[in-house]
């Protein structure tokens, strides 16, 4: 069998640029922000989980003491307690969660799928949170489309 012709000698290849480093946080602040984003996401999921379990103590604990529910804290808690405990079952699912952190403040935006007894509602949700005593708590809550 004929032998293949040897390949012509090539000029040395230019030295490739160094491979980009993995996407590590550029600064200590970036690392703190990404850790804070994870903490906020965890707080949002814990809030939804407490609501789904009808655990009103954990649910209320997700809110800042000065959360404005449109009435006094005591009246708001009483109203929420009746609405939560009055349901046979509740399911709150969070999807498409986007968290933005700015210092000790954060905004969580997501799709909320709420099911309770015969009601099923899917809506956009925004929670404004603040860091308080090492925990992220809800200071404002709004529902969109």
- Tens digit of each residue's pLDDT, the chain (145 residues): 656 665 555 555 555 555 555 555 567 777 777 899 999 999 999 999 999 999 999 999 999 999 989 999 999 999 999 999 999 999 999 999 999 999 999 999 999 999 999 899 999 999 999 999 899 999 999 998 6
What pLDDT is attached to residue 137? 98
The residue whose two tokens read 């939560």 is 84
CATH number of 28-143: 3.10.450.50
CB 84 within 8 A of CB 59: yes
Q: In this structure, what token pair is assigned to residue 107?
A: 């905004």
pTM for this entry: 0.78
Distance, CA of 85 to CA of 55 (rounded, Å):
9
What pLDDT is attached to residue 95? 97
Distance, CA of 77 to CA of 69 (rounded, Å):
9
Number of Cβ within a 10 Å radius of residue 55: 14
Longest dimension (CA), the chain: 94
């Amino acid at each position: 069998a004929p032998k293949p012709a040897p390949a012509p000698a090539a000029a040395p290849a230019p030295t490739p640029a160094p491979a980009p480093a993995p996407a590590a946080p550029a600064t200590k602040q970036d690392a703190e922000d990404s850790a804070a984003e994870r903490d906020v996401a965890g707080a949002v999921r814990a809030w939804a989980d407490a609501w789904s379990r009808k655990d009103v103590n954990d649910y209320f604990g997700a809110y800042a003491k000065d959360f404005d529910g449109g009435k006094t804290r005591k009246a708001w808690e009483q109203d929420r307690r009746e609405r939560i405990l009055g349901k046979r079952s509740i399911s709150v699912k969070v999807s498409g969660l986007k968290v933005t952190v700015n210092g000790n403040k954060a905004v969580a935006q997501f799709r909320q799928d709420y099911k309770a007894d015969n009601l099923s509602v899917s809506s956009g949700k925004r929670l404004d949170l603040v860091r308080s005593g090492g925990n992220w708590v809800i200071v404002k809550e709004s529902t969109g489309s």
